[in-house]
Amino acid sequence: MRLLLVEDDPLLANGLSAQLEKAGFSVDTARTAREARQLGQQESYQAGILDLGLPDGNGLDVLRQWRTHKVSFPVLILTARGDWQDKVNGLKAGADDYLAKPFQTEELIARLHAIVRRSEGRIMDTLTAGRFELDENRQTLRAGDQTEHSLTGTEFRLLRCLMSRPGQVFSKEQLLDQLYSLDDTPSENVIEAYVRRLRKLVGPDTIKTRRGQGYLFDADSR
């Protein structure tokens, strides 16, 4: 399995790549952001390990560039700061997991296997309806004005259902199938609450109510 390791500390990079090769990966090492950008876009890897503090730039910028160039291998970021906001920013930039330094090599390898497994059979896919673009892989919604909204699981599934066939009316029962809930019999009020929340993201007229029938996604509404 080919893996790209981006780490500027030579001692850590050498030690890690030796251990990763022992675990069955074939490792390419990049020491700078420039090198990482090039290698990531030219070669095809199954996974990447990305250190955020690089001498000539920020690792998150490298990651964003990879993702805009449709480089889709799963990436695990290494960070010295274990801040929640840093983690959120990392995942928003397109990472699949994070690990705070210092870490144990066994954990790193376990996480790598996990993100590789998760990414297998995954396709970079977006669902587009009108000015809305739903990123199926990252569970995010991009509206016409380029703002990106992160969605919770149920919000994503409901929106995917509605956006899959714009203009078609979905009954509340159909939408309830998209819901996981602790309640054995989730009520229809729950659907109403989610639709209310989704309307805040896509605009009040985009999801229309058909009284007594259900809801529909109107892609052309402003």
Applying CB under 8 A, does 17 fall inside the site for other proteins? no
Cα gap 149→59, rounded to integer Å: 22
- Token pair in block for residue 30: 């990049």
Applying CB under 8 A, does 35 fall inside the site for other proteins? no
DSSP structural state of residue 170: B
Applying CB under 8 A, does 180 fall inside the site for other proteins? yes
Nearer to other proteins, 151 or 216 (CB): 151
Among 19, 32, 150, 221, binds other proteins (CB under 8 A): 150
Span from 70-78, 150-158, 160-168, 212-220 in contact with other proteins (CB under 8 A): 150-158
Cα gap 142→139, rounded to integer Å: 10
Contact 127, 133 (CB under 8 A): yes
Span from 1-9, 32-40, 84-92, 125-133 in contact with other proteins (CB under 8 A): 84-92
As to burial, measured by CB atoms within 10 angstroms (0-12 exposed, 13-18 middle, 19+ buried), residue 92 is middle
Q: Are strands 26-30 and 57-58 parallel, antiparallel or unpaired?
A: unpaired
Angle at alpha carbon of residue 96, lines to 65 and 153, rounded to 5°: 115
Among 49, 71, 134, 151, binds other proteins (CB under 8 A): 151
- Give the DSSP H or E segment for 198: helix 188-202
Among 26, 181, 187, 209, binds other proteins (CB under 8 A): 181
Among 42, 55, 84, 146, binds other proteins (CB under 8 A): 84
Cα gap 100→59, rounded to integer Å: 14
Cα gap 114→67, rounded to integer Å: 20
Least distance between other proteins and beta carbon 176 (Å): 14
Applying CB under 8 A, does 134 fall inside the site for other proteins? no
Touching other proteins, residues 110-129 (CB under 8 A) = 118
Binding site for other proteins (CB under 8 A): 82-85, 87-88, 91-92, 96-97, 102, 118, 138-140, 149-154, 180-183, 193, 197, 200
